[in-house]
Chains A and B, each alone.
Chain A
Amino acid sequence: MIQIQDLYKRFGKVQVLKGVNLDIGRGGIFAILGPNGSGKTTLIKSILGMVVADKGDIKIADKSVLRKFEYRKNIDYLPQIANFPANLTVSELIGMIRNLRAKTSSHEQLIDLFDLTPFLNQKLGNLSGGTRQKVNLVLTFMFDSELIILDEPTTGLDPVSLIRLKQRIEEEKKKGKTILISSHIMSFVEEIADEIVFLLDGKIHFKGTVSDLMKQTGQQNLEYAIANILTDNHA
Chain B
Amino acid sequence: MKIVLKYYTFLFWLMISAISFAQEVEVCNSCTFSSLAEAISEVDKGARIYLKKGIYKEYDVLIDKPVQILAEKGAVLDAQGKGYGLIISADSVRISGITIRNIGKSYTKDFAAIYISRSKHFTVENAVLEKVFFGILVEKSHHGQISNNHISSEGIEEAGSGNGVHMWHSSNVVVEKNELHNLRDGIYFEFVKNSKVINNKSHDNIRYGLHFMFSNQNEYHYNTFTHNGAGVAVMFSKFITMTHNSFKENWGAASYGLLLKEIYDARIEYNRIEQNTVGINAEGSTRISYKNNNFISNGWAVKISGACYTNIFERNNFLYNSFDVSYNSNLNDNSFNNNYWSAYTGYDLDKNGIGDVPHRPVKLFSYVVNRTPETIVLLRSLFVDIINFSEKVSPVFTPDNLMDDSPLMKKIK
Any A–B CB pair closer than 8 Å: no
Show the binding face of A for B, using Cβ within 8 Å. none
Show the binding face of B for A, using Cβ within 8 Å. none
